[in-house]
Amino acid sequence: MPALTDLYRDLHAHPELSMQENRTADIVAAVLRAQGWDVTEGVGRTGVVGVLHNGDGPVVLLRADMDGLPVREDTGLDYASTDTGIDPDGVTVPVMHACGHDVHVTCLLGAAALYAADRSLWRGTLVVVFQPGEETAQGARAMVDDGFIERFPRPDVCLGQHVGPFPAGVIVTRPGTLMAAADSFRIRLFGRGGHGSAPEHTVDPIVMGSAVVGRLQAVVSREVAAGDSAVVTVGSFHSGHKENIIPDEAELKVNVRTFDPQVRDRVLPAIRRVVNAEAAASGAPKEPEFNPLNDFPLTVNDEAATERVVAALADTFGSDRILPMPRPLAGSEDFGVFATAAGCPSVFWHFGGADPAAFAHLDLTATAALALPEGVPTNHSPQFAPVIDPTLETGVRALLAAAAAWNAAS
C-alpha cells in the first residue's frame, strides 16, 4: 500500500487529457514490465495492454481508464494538480483527475502486481487494459479499431470498476442496464449581425439560442413518457464578443442521456426538429449545423456474470458492503465496447471513494438509494478527491475477487 499510495499521488498530480495520456502510459508500461507482464504500448494511440499466461483456463480482461478532465482542481491537497493541457480546440486548459481515473490505474496496477507475484492462486490468462480517452468516448473504440480483438487473447469475460461518491469500502452494482447511453453534439445557429442599437436590422442568434435552450427542456417533459427517462443538457452556449454588437452566430453544445434505445430514437430527432423550427421562426438566413462530438453506448451488465461477481465480492468484503444499485446511473461509460467486440459478458461496478464519516448518519440502504450527503463532491467536481484509505485497497481487492470468480486455482 505505501508504494501504491505514492504512485496514486503522482498520477493525481499529473493528469493528462483524453488521448494525450503519454506520461501515464509510460509509467503503466514500465510498472507492468517490472512485474513480468508481456506489454504492448500505443494500442489505440496511447493505450497499454499487459498479458500474463498461467496455464489452461479462462481469459479474464480487467480494464482501467487513464484520462483526466479540463477542470481546475480545488481540493487543497498537497498533491493537487497544477498541470495544464491543450484541448482539441487548441486552447490551454487546466487538467485534473476529477473523475478518479488515477484511482482506477493505481488499483489495476496493484492487482496486476499481486497476480504476477503469486501464480499459485490462479490459472488461465489475464489481460489488463489501460485505456485512453474514456471521457470523450474515443479510447475503447480506438483500441478495438487498432486490432485489439485480433492482437490479444479474446476474453471470456470483461471486468471493470469506477470510483464514485459512495462511502469508501462500499461497492454498488446491478444486473442489466447500469449506466446511460450518451450523445453529445455541437449546434451552430446562424443569424445576421449588426449594431446593438438596431436589432431590427439583424437576426439575433443569442435570442435564437436562448429560445432553443428553453424549448429543449420540453423534449423530456413533454415527449418522453412518465415511465421512461432521459436527460437533455445544454452545457455550453457561446456567442459574440462585445456588448453592443449582435453577432452572426451562436454555438451550443448539447448532451443527451437515455436508458432505452427507443427513447433515444425519439429524443434525438426531437432535438433536431426543435432547433430547426426555432431557427426558422427567427428568420435565420441559414439552417443550423449539427456536428457530433461523441457517443457512449449503454453499459449493460450480464445477469449471470453479475451474480457471479456479486457473490465473489460478498465473500471478500461481506454482504453488507455489496449494495444493490436501485436504478441505472445517468453517467456513461465506453467500457462495454470491449465485451461487445469480443462477444463475451461484462460486469462493471462502482466502489466508494468518499470519507465514510460523511455517511455515518445514514443507513447504508439509504446510501444504496444514491443518497448523497451535503458537501460530498461528485465526479467531475473541482473538489472531487477520493480518500486514499480504504479506497485504493478496496479497488485492488475488488478486482482480485471478481477475477477469481473465473480464474481461481482449483
Mean pLDDT of 304-312: 98
- Same domain for 336 and 250: no
What are the pLDDT digits (tens) for 177-236? 999 999 999 999 999 999 999 999 999 999 999 999 999 999 999 999 999 999 999 999
Give the structural domain span for 260.
181-294
What is the CATH number for 209?
3.30.70.360
Mean pLDDT of 80-104: 97
- Same domain for 194 and 109: no
Peptide bond connecting 377 to the previous residue in cis, omega within 30 degrees of 0: no
Query: Using 50, 70 and 90 to split pLDDT, how confident is the model at 389?
Result: very high
How many domains is the chain built from? 2
Query: Using 50, 70 and 90 to split pLDDT, how confident is the model at 369?
Result: very low
pLDDT for 370: 63
Query: Using 50, 70 and 90 to split pLDDT, how confident is the model at 371?
Result: confident
pLDDT of 49 > 70? The answer is yes
The number of CA neighbours under 13 Å toward the Cβ of 236 is 12
Query: What average pLDDT is seen over the chain?
Result: 95
pLDDT for 366: 56
- Taking the C-alpha atoms of residue 311 and residue 333, their distance in angstroms, rounded to an integer, is 24
- Using alpha carbons, list the distances in angstroms from residue 159 to 62, 162, 337, 343: 5, 11, 12, 14
- Taking the C-alpha atoms of residue 227 and residue 26, their distance in angstroms, rounded to an integer, is 47
- Same domain for 377 and 283: no
- Same domain for 104 and 18: yes
Backbone angles phi, psi at 8, to 5 degrees: -60, -45
- Taking the C-alpha atoms of residue 185 and residue 249, their distance in angstroms, rounded to an integer, is 16
Query: What do you get for the CA distance between the two ends of the chain, in Å?
Result: 28
Say what percent of the chain tops pLDDT 90: 92
Mean pLDDT of 377-398: 97
What are the pLDDT digits (tens) for 320-337? 999 999 889 999 999 999
Query: Using 50, 70 and 90 to split pLDDT, how confident is the model at 9?
Result: very high
pLDDT of 58 > 70? The answer is yes
Mean pLDDT of 150-175: 96
Mean pLDDT of 252-274: 96
- Taking the C-alpha atoms of residue 54 and residue 56, their distance in angstroms, rounded to an integer, is 7
- Same domain for 370 and 265: no
What is the CATH number for 34?
3.40.630.10
Query: Using 50, 70 and 90 to split pLDDT, how confident is the model at 84?
Result: very high
Return the C-alpha cell found at 313. Answer: 465480492
Query: Using 50, 70 and 90 to split pLDDT, how confident is the model at 39?
Result: very high
- Same domain for 195 and 164: no
Higher pLDDT, 362 or 65: 65
- Same domain for 134 and 249: no
- Same domain for 126 and 232: no
Helix (H, G, I), strand (E, B) or coil at 353: strand
Mean pLDDT of 288-309: 96
- Same domain for 190 and 165: no
- Same domain for 43 and 17: yes
Mean pLDDT of 26-41: 98
- Same domain for 308 and 205: no
- Taking the C-alpha atoms of residue 178 and residue 175, their distance in angstroms, rounded to an integer, is 7
Mean pLDDT of 144-167: 97
- Same domain for 351 and 207: no
Domain final residue, candidates 294, 321, 342: 294
Query: Using 50, 70 and 90 to split pLDDT, how confident is the model at 362?
Result: confident
Pair type for strands 157-167 and 346-354: parallel
Active site positions, annotated: 65, 135
Domain final residue, candidates 294, 324, 339: 294
pLDDT of 353 > 90? The answer is yes
Domain final residue, candidates 260, 294, 328: 294
pLDDT for 367: 60
Mean pLDDT of 369-390: 89
